[in-house]
Structure 1
Amino acid sequence: MKRTLALLLAAATLTLSLGVCAADAPAKPEAQSAAVHVAPPKDEKSVTHGSVTINSKRIDYTATAGTIILKNKAGKPTGSMFYVAYVKDGVRDPSTRPIAFLYNGGPGSSSVWLHMGAFGPVRVISGDAHHTPPAPYNVVNNNDSLLDVSDLVFIDAMGTGFSRIIGKDQGGVGTPKDFYGVNADGKSFSQFIYDYVSRNDRWNSPKYLIGESYGTTRSAVLVNDLQQGQGMDFNGVVLMSSILNFETDSFNPGNDLPYISFLPSYAAVACYHKVTQCPADLPAYLQQVKNFARGEYASALMLGSSLPVAEKAQIVQKLAQYTGLKPSYIEKADLRVSLFQFMAELQRGKDLVTGRLDGRYSGYAADQLAEYAENDPQSDAITGAYTAAFNRYVRQTSA
C-alpha cells in the first residue's frame, strides 16, 4: 500500500528525489525521445488595396502587412519584425517617390500611434480630452495622412505589436540581449530597413526616418548605422517629441534643467483646467513664463541654499501664480516640482490626476494621498480604442 502510494505521488508530482525513488525500486529508465526539430518561421506578408482622400484628392495604394526575419552573422534567425507598408499605386520610377520609415518610442511601444493616430490612411476615432467609451470603435479616412507625399512603412519594435524574438523553442537563436538595448535596438531596425529597401527596389528613392519620443533616440543611432555601416544616406530625419538629451526629462537631484524646461507646460495645463486665470493672449502669456523660467527661476535654482529668503519668497509666489499650486507646496518642494508631482497635485482638490502625454486629460485619483501620479489618464483614455481598432483593422483588412 505504502509502495503503491509513493509511486502514484511520484507520477503525479514528479518532485520526489532520486534517492526516494531508488528506495522504492525505481522503474527502468525510458529511452529519451528524439529532439523535435522546429522549423524557423519565414517571411510572411498579406497584400491588399485601398484608397485615401487627402485634400479632396483620391490616392490609391497597395498595403502590405508582413514580417521580415532578422538573422545573425551566421544566418540564423533571431527575430521576426512586423510592419505595415503603404505604397502609392501607379508610380513607375521609385526614384521619384519618397519612402518614410516610422516608429514610436517608449522604448516598448508599437507603431500604432503614428500609424492609426497620425499619418496612416485611416485614423481611430477617440475622445478629445475625455475618456473614449467602450467598443464598438471606428476608423475614418485620415485627411492628414502623409501618403500624398511619401510611401509609408510603419515598424513595430521587437517585443511590441506582432514583432517577436525567435528563440530556440521557435527554431531560432534569438535572445532578449539581441534587441533590448540602445545599440541592439538600433541594429534590429537597421537590418530591417536594409532588407526592406533591398527587396523592394527602393535604394534610389528619397528616404526619411520619422521617430517619436524614444524613436528620436533610435533615429540618431539608426541613421548612423545605416550611413556608416551600409552606405545608405537619408534625405531627412524627423524628430517628434525629441528626447536626444535625457537630462531634460530626468528629475534627479542636482539636475535643474527639467524644472526649467517643464514650467511653461505646467502653466499652459493649469490655464486649461482653469486652476489659474487664463489671459486672453495665451501665446504672449506663455512667452512671459518662458522668460521667467530661463531668467529669474533658473538663477534662483542655481543659487541653491544661498538664495536670499526674500528672493525665494518672490520666486515661490510667481511659481504659484503660473502653476496654480499652493505656495506652501512649492516652498516645501524647494522650488522644484517634478512632472509626476505636478500631475498628482494640480487637481488634487477635485480628486483628479492630470494627464502626462496630454495635459488636457483628467482621471480619478485612486490614491488621493499619493505624492506622485500613478497613471496617465490620457493613456488610459485612448489605449483601449487604439488596441481594438488596430486589431480589427489589421486582421480583417489584411486577411
Structure 2
Amino acid sequence: MFIDPIGTGFSRSLPQDDKDTKQSEKANFGEAEKPKETEFWEVERDLKALGEFIGRFLSSHQRWLSPIFIAGESYGGFRVARLARKLQQEFGVGLCGAIVISPALEFSLLAGSDYNLTAWATLIPSFAASAAHHKRVQWAAEQGNLQAHIAAAEQFARTTLIPLLAMGDTMTPDQRQIAYEQMAGLIGLPVELVERLAGRIGIEVFARELLRDQQRIVGLYDASITAIDPFPGRVNYEGSDPTLDGLDRLFTGAINSHLRDTLGVETDLSYHLLNLETFKAWKFELKGEFKQGFLGSVDDLRVGMALNPYMQVYIAHGLFDLVTPYFASKHLADMMKLNPQIRPNLTVKHFLCGHMFYTWDESRCLWLAQMKAFYHNATA
C-alpha cells in the first residue's frame, strides 16, 4: 500500500460539514482560500494521520496479524524512523521491519554553520565520490579503487576535518594548509577555494564549482547528473537543479500514466508530485523537544528498536546524493549505541547512484535482491 500524505499525490482532507462542503465548492470555482490541509502540515499531526490510516487499513482488510513493514524516502525516511516508535507505542502496530531510503534523519546535519561542525564533515565522502565520478581527482586519473577513495574521504572527515573546524584559530597555519590541500585533492575543488571557505564547503558551492570550467552544474540530488549553467558569469547559481526541476516532468508523466491508464483511477484531481503549498506552509514545531531548534528521528528509531528486538531496520543511500548524504546516516548509526543484542538488526547500505538510486538499473537490481533477503530474514 503506497500512502501519499495529505496534500501530496491525490490525498486531500474530506469536508466535515456543509460549511466545509460549500467552501470546497467555492474553491473549485476559483475562489482563493487557505487549504484546509494546513492543519496536517506539521510533524506530529502528519505522523498521527499516517498512523490512523495504517490502523484503519489493517482493520478494513483484516491484516493485523500479517507481517508489516514500513518504508519511506527522503523526508518519508524521517517519517519511518519516527513511526518505528509511534506505530508500536501509540497505535499497537507491530513491525517486522522498517526501510529508510535516502533519509534526512537529523535536521541538524542538513546545514552546517560556524558552530555546527559535523554537517560539513558528513558531506565530504559524497563530494569525493562525485568528484571521482567526473574524473576531477587524481584517483580517477590513476584508475584507482573508488571504495578506497571514499574510505580515505571518510577517514579525513572524521580525523582531520572535524578537529580542524573544532580547533579554529588554535590550529597552526601550516596544519590548516596541509588539511586544505588534502581536502582539495579528495573533492576535486581548487585549494584556494577550500582555503577561502576555511574547509566549509556547502552543496551549492560544490555543485557550481566542480565543473565550472565546463560551464556545467552537477545535480544536488544526484551529482553524477549535470546540466548547462545558463548564467555562468553570475556570482551565484541562478538556474534550476537538473535532478529536481529537470526530472519533474518525467516522473509526473509516469505516475499519471500508471495511475490513470494502467490502474484505471478516474479523478479530476491533480496529482501533486511536489506540492509547494505544503512546503511553504509546513510547520516544524518542537512541542517539548528541546534540541537546539532541530528536529530529529534517531531517538525514536532507537526506542522503536528497543521496544521490538525482532524488528529489522534497513537504511539505504546513494553515494552521489548531496542533499541527504550517506555518511550522515553512517555517522548516526555509529553514534546510536545500540545494545549488542539488537545491533545486528540495523543494516546500512550505499549504492552507486544518487537520491533515487533505484533509477539506476544496476542499483535497482542489487537493491531488489537485498530487499528479498531482508524480508526473508525479518519474517523467519
TM-score of Structure 1 vs Structure 2, range by shorter chain:
0.5 to 0.7
Which position in structure 2 is the counterpart of 1:47? none
Identify, as 1 or 2, the structure richer in helix: 2
User: Matched residues in 2 for 1:362 and 1:161: separation?
Assistant: 28
- Runs (5+) with no aligned partner, structure 1: 1-152
**Alignment equivalent of 2:24, drawn from 162, 167, 170:** 170
Give matches, 1:286-325, under 5 Å. Answer: 286-325=150-189
**Alignment equivalent of 1:379, drawn from 244, 265, 268:** 244
Which position in structure 2 is the counterpart of 1:183? 44
- One-letter amino acid of the counterpart of residue 227, structure 2: G
- One-letter amino acid of the counterpart of residue 296, structure 1: T
- Give the superposition deviation at 1:374: 5.1
- Contact 2:225/2:243, CA 8 A, preserved across alignment: yes
- Give the superposition deviation at 1:373: 6.7
- Give the superposition deviation at 1:295: 0.7
Give matches, 1:236-275, under 5 Å. Answer: 236-275=97-136
Give the SS at the match of 1:250: coil
User: Matched residues in 2 for 1:253 and 1:375: separation?
Assistant: 28
- Contact 1:357/1:379, CA 8 A, preserved across alignment: yes
- Contact 1:206/1:234, CA 8 A, preserved across alignment: yes
User: Matched residues in 2 for 1:226 and 1:174: separation?
Assistant: 27
**Alignment equivalent of 2:70, drawn from 182, 188, 209:** 209
Give the SS at the match of 2:244: helix
- One-letter amino acid of the counterpart of residue 356, structure 1: L
- Give the superposition deviation at 1:366: 2.5
Which position in structure 1 is the counterpart of 2:255? 390
- One-letter amino acid of the counterpart of residue 7, structure 2: G
Indicate the RMSD between aligned Cα atoms, in angstroms: 2.1
Give the SS at the match of 1:155: coil
Which position in structure 1 is the counterpart of 2:222? 358
User: Matched residues in 2 for 1:343 and 1:360: separation?
Assistant: 10
Q: CA 1:381–1:372 in structure 2 vs 1: closer, same or farther (change >3 Å)?
A: closer
- Give the superposition deviation at 1:317: 0.9
Give the SS at the match of 1:210: strand
- Give the superposition deviation at 1:286: 1.4
- Contact 1:165/1:174, CA 8 A, preserved across alignment: no
- Give the superposition deviation at 1:367: 2.9
- Give the superposition deviation at 1:174: 8.1
Which position in structure 2 is the counterpart of 1:328? 192
- Give the superposition deviation at 1:270: 0.8
Q: What CA deviation, in whole Å up to 9, does each residue of 1:177-230 have, x standing for no partner?
A: 421011011011111111111111110101011111111221233233322222
Structure with the bigger RCO (C-alpha within 8 Å, sep 6+) is 2
Q: What CA deviation, in whole Å up to 9, does each residue of 1:70-117 have, x standing for no partner?
A: xxxxxxxxxxxxxxxxxxxxxxxxxxxxxxxxxxxxxxxxxxxxxxxx
- Contact 1:352/1:362, CA 8 A, preserved across alignment: yes
User: Matched residues in 1 for 2:87 and 2:137: separation?
Assistant: 49
Give the SS at the match of 2:144: coil
- One-letter amino acid of the counterpart of residue 91, structure 2: Q
- Contact 1:249/1:258, CA 8 A, preserved across alignment: yes
- Contact 2:129/2:149, CA 8 A, preserved across alignment: no
User: Matched residues in 1 for 2:239 and 2:95: separation?
Assistant: 40
Greater Rg by CA: 1
Which position in structure 2 is the counterpart of 1:128? none
- Contact 1:343/1:355, CA 8 A, preserved across alignment: yes
- One-letter amino acid of the counterpart of residue 187, structure 1: K
**Alignment equivalent of 2:80, drawn from 204, 219, 224:** 219
- Runs (5+) with no aligned partner, structure 2: 26-33, 265-380
Q: CA 1:373–1:284 in structure 2 vs 1: closer, same or farther (change >3 Å)?
A: farther
Q: CA 1:361–1:332 in structure 2 vs 1: closer, same or farther (change >3 Å)?
A: same
User: Matched residues in 2 for 1:336 and 1:372: separation?
Assistant: 18
Q: Using the aligned pairs only, state the percent identity.
A: 29
Q: What CA deviation, in whole Å up to 9, does each residue of 1:25-59 have, x standing for no partner?
A: xxxxxxxxxxxxxxxxxxxxxxxxxxxxxxxxxxx
- One-letter amino acid of the counterpart of residue 5, structure 2: A
